[in-house]
């Protein structure tokens, strides 16, 4: 994670650097800093805390007026979030100034080599090793030094470097962490992600692993890791920056919850045409689909929960065996992938390090890879064989909502597409399913009206120490998501359990007053889940039940009942998740938490 920016041009660098960092704050927000060329040297201002703290620090000193600079917002990996560990870091006697996103895996051995060579370290970071190492290799050629650094370090990096010896240049490189270049007129930009430069330019270059860029105010040169010049295509950004503004809402999360009907509609409608599912991005023939032995789904966090739901959906709808893995496990467990298997990777950002590595592993083993990604032209999107974009628009709140819903929508499309190919969906049923999908955004919209009820429940339960979520089948998958949403933004301990598994341990944690959210919308399993509700109630739990349709009888066993509209079983996750998101949001508000930027988290997790 971490976000990096760079500016070289004729205007003051600081405003762009600060502005860019604000757009990248979703990547990490525990400390921040900028470095600007000034008076023959490089001035660094950095601080623990957020960009706002950095701005405050800057306002208390004479302004940085230089026209070349780099900046960083940090998510700590090596060393606590302190002023000393914040980037930029200096290398040598201050000749080098550097920012870095990623992890240098062999930093301990490099540090000892550099200490022996006389370098002194002021921080606990792996990044400072990179700064000194650059100085160590730097004679008079930035490109040569960068190549040597890249040959020496192991790990992941996007890095940008200033040298007092070459004040008209910024040199940068990347491996396994994103980096883009914005092309301006008499000025150029560098950033971890496109939104940071969108105010200034729509013409970008997307760096690939092992590429190096040398930026001057009126020139951009690309090189491969051997120093050979590269020609790169411009990527023209067509989407709007305003989509990433709060637009009157108190929080991005609130706005993004409200945007879910649109996100789902935008994702579904181009792929539903005249009662037919069409996914032109998918380059699998009907024959290929019939030959699939297994679908491997890999993802992290909430996207993994979509994968958990997808397992039930693919198997039920298409009768194709499906396994869902956490990307961080899949990448190291030497998974068995047979001829014909496909791998679906799900990722909002398209940059999650473990998911990317899992994608590469699946490709290496011969699987056809399909990614479900929200960020256009992100690394996962670029590297997978097929990419199906979720058209949710930019998602800013760290806790995902609308991207999650859009991912579910793609899962439904894929499941029905596969079902059709294997002969389990007749043309009549396809028309009916398309109609149900078209009606889904409206049903989601109707659930937004539960806001007051969920806010009232949150008032009641805000002081809880533990909250349990239970459900079976698809209700279990959505319980996982409800529980994650709650814990990540309200800091209340929460666990989700397959309701039938509860009595194998977790039930011992239920005490009088423990809140249990029971998702019981699967009609086929309703009686079973009701049985589990009775079990926790008998031990004093305060039960909030989520049921679909009538089911008045549940009132006898649950303290609170939330009714969600009836829907085709496959589509229930899209409905059930809405009240759970709203509940988590209000729980966090009640507890005075920073809803959009929960502690210790980052939206784009580009380190493993
Ligand atoms: C982080 C985010 C989660 C997200 C997960 C995977 O942990 O906070 O909301 O689900 O990363 O991210 P991705 O971008 O791959 O979907």
**Contact 131/84 with Cβ under 8 angstroms?**
no
For the ranges 316-330, 335-349, 479-493, 544-558, the lowest mean pLDDT is seen at 544-558
Query: What is the DSSP track for 572-599?
Result: HHHHHHHHHHHHHHHHHHHTT--SSS-T
The rounded Å distance from CA 347 to ligand 1 centre is 7
Indicate whether residue 400 lines ligand 1 (CB < 6 A): yes
Helices H, strands E: what count in the chain?
18, 27
303 CB near ligand 1 (under 6 Å) = yes
**Contact, 189 vs 134, CB < 8 A?**
no
Give the pLDDT band of residue 183 (cuts 50, 70, 90). Answer: very high
Q: Counting atoms of ligand 1 from 1, which one is nearest the CA of 301?
A: 10
- The model's pLDDT over 555-576, given as tens digits with 9 standing for 90+, comes to 999 999 999 999 999 999 999 9
The response to whether residue 347 sits with its C-beta less than 6 Å from ligand 1 reads yes
Residues 6+ apart with CB under 8 A from 168: 8, 68, 216, 217
pLDDT bin (cut points 50, 70, 90) of residue 83 is confident
Ligand 1 pocket: which of 400, 403, 482, 602 to mutate (most atoms <8 Å of CB)?
A: 400
Q: Separation of 482 CA from ligand 1 center, angstroms? A: 15
pLDDT tens column, 155-172:
999 999 999 999 999 999
Residues 83-99 as b/e (b if ≥16 CB within 10 A, e otherwise) read eebbbbbbbbeebbbbb
CB 312 within 8 Å of CB 264? no
Distance 302 CA to ligand 1 centre (A): 6
CA–centroid distance, residue 352 to ligand 1 (Å): 7
- Cα–Cα–Cα angle for 84, 88, 93, nearest 5°? 85
Active site residues: 2, 603
**Alpha-carbon 427 to chain mean position:** 37
Q: What is the pLDDT of residues 306-322, one digit of tens each?
A: 999 999 999 999 999 99
Question: Ligand 1: which of 348, 396, 577 to mutate, most ligand atoms within 8 Å of CB?
Answer: 348
Higher pLDDT, 435 or 39: 435
Give the mean model confidence (pLDDT) for residues 344-356.
Answer: 95
Rounded distance, CA 134 to CA 126, Å?
Answer: 13
- Per residue, the 3-state secondary structure of 77-124, as one string, reads CCCCCCCCCCCCEEECCCCEEEEEEEEECCHHHHHHHHHHCCCCCCCC
Residue 215: closest CA among 15, 69, 8: 8
Residue 301: closest CA among 605, 575, 519, 517:
605
Does the beta carbon of 380 lie inside 6 Å of ligand 1? no
The tens digit of pLDDT for each residue in 419-429 reads 999 999 999 99
58: exposed, middle or buried (Cβ count in 10 Å: 0-12, 13-18, 19+): middle
Amino acid 79: pLDDT: 85
Report which ligand 1 atom has the smallest distance to the Cα of 403. 16
Average pLDDT, stretch 321-333? Answer: 96
Nearest ligand 1 atom, CA 352: 15
Average confidence (pLDDT) over 244-251: 82
pLDDT over 90 (residue 329): yes
H helix intervals, 259-390: 260-268, 286-290, 301-318, 327-330, 353-364, 379-383
Beta bridge partners of 173: 159, 212
* pLDDT score of 242: 65
- Atom 3 (ligand 1): residue with closest C-alpha? 301
pLDDT confidence of residue 292: 97
What integer is the mean pLDDT of 285-303?
97
* Ligand 1 midpoint to CA 400 (Å): 7
Cβ 328 under 6 angstroms from ligand 1: no
Average of per-residue pLDDT across 377-389: 94
The finding on whether 125 has its CB within 6 A of some atom of ligand 1 is no
Q: How far is the CA of 142 from the centre of ligand 1 (A)?
A: 35
Distance 147 CA to ligand 1 centre (A): 32
Pocket probe mutation, ligand 1, options 303, 357, 401, max atoms within 8 Å of Cβ: 303
Segment 105-114 mean pLDDT: 95
Q: What is the pLDDT, as a whole number, of residue 550? A: 78
- Strand ranges inside 447-549, DSSP E: 466-471, 493-498, 515-520, 542-548
Share of residues in the chain with pLDDT > 90 (%): 87
- Work out which ligand 1 atom sits closest to the CA atom of 400: 9
**Is the distance from CB of 425 to CB of 416 less than 8 angstroms?**
yes
Atom of ligand 1 nearest to the CA of 380: 15
Hey, which of 349, 410, 598 would you mutate to test ligand 1's pocket, going by the most ligand atoms within 8 Å of its Cβ? 349
How confident is the model over 485-522, as pLDDT tens digits?
999 999 999 999 999 998 898 888 999 999 999 999 99
Residue 606 has a pLDDT of 75
pLDDT average, residue stretch 260-277:
96
| Interval between CA 218 and ligand 1 midpoint (Å) | 37
């Amino acid at each position: 994670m971490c976000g990096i920016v760079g500016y070289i041009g004729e205007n003051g660098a600081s405003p762009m650097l600060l502005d860019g960092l604000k757009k990248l704050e979703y990547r990490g927000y525990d400390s921040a800093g900028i470095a600007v060329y000034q008076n023959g040297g490089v001035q660094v201002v950095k601080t623990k805390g957020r960009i706002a703290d950095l701005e405050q620090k800057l306002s208390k000193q004479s302004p940085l007026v230089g026209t070349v600079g780099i900046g960083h917002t940090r998510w700590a990996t090596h060393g606590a979030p302190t002023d000393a560990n914040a980037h930029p870091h200096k290398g040598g006697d201050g000749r080098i100034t550097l920012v870095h996103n990623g992890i240098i895996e062999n930093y301990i051995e490099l540090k000892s080599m550099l200490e022996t060579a006389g370098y002194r370290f002021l921080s606990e970071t792996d990044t400072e090793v990179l700064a000194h190492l650059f100085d160590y290799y730097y004679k008079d050629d930035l490109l040569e030094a960068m190549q040597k650094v890249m040959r020496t370090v192991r790990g992941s990096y996007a890095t940008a470097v200033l040298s007092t010896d070459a004040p008209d240049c910024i040199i940068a490189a990347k491996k396994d962490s994103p980096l883009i270049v914005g092309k301006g007129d008499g000025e150029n930009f560098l950033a971890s992600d496109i939104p940071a430069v969108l105010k200034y330019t729509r013409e970008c270059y997307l760096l690939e692993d092992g590429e190096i860029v040398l930026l001057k105010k009126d020139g951009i040169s690309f090189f491969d890791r051997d120093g050979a010049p590269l020609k790169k295509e411009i990527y023209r950004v067509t989407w709007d920056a305003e989509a990433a503004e709060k637009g009157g809402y108190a929080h991005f999360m609130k706005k993004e919850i409200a945007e879910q009907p649109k996100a789902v509609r935008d994702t579904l409608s181009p792929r539903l045409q005249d009662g037919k599912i069409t996914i032109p991005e998918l380059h699998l023939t009907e024959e290929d689909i019939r030959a699939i032995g297994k679908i491997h789904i890999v993802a992290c966090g909430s996207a993994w929960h979509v994968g958990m739901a997808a397992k039930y959906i693919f198997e039920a709808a298409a009768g194709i065996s499906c396994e869902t893995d956490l990307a961080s496990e899949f990448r190291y467990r030497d998974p068995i992938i047979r001829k014909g298997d496909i791998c679906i990777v799900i990722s909002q950002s398209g940059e999650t390090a473990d998911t990317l590595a899992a994608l590469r592993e699946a490709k290496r083993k011969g699987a056809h890879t399909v990614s479900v990604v929200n960020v256009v032209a992100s690394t996962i999107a670029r590297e997978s064989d097929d990419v199906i974009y979720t058209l949710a628009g930019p998602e800013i709140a760290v806790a995902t909502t609308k991207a999650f819903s859009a991912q579910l929508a793609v899962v439904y499309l894929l499941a029905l597409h596969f079902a059709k190919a294997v002969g389990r969906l007749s043309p009549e049923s396809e028309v009916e399913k398309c109609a149900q999908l078209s009606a889904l955004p409206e049903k989601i919209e109707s659930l937004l009206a539960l806001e007051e009820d969920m806010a009232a429940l949150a008032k009641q339960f805000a002081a809880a120490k533990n909250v349990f979520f239970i459900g079976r089948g698809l209700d279990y998958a959505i319980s996982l998501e409800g529980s994650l949403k709650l814990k990540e933004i309200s800091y209340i301990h929460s666990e989700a359990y397959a309701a039938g598994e509860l009595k194998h341990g977790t039930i011992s944690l239920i005490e009088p007053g423990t809140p249990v959210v029971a998702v019981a919308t699967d009609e086929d399993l309703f009686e079973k889940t009701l049985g589990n509700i009775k079990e926790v109630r008998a031990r004093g739990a305060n039960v909030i039940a989520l049921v679909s349709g009538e089911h008045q009888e549940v009132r006898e066993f649950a303290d609170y009942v939330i009714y969600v509209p009836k829907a085709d079983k496959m589509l229930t996750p899209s409905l059930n998740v809405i009240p759970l998101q709203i509940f988590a949001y209000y729980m966090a508000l009640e507890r005075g938490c920073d809803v959009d930027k929960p502690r210790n988290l980052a939206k784009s997790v580009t380190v493993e």
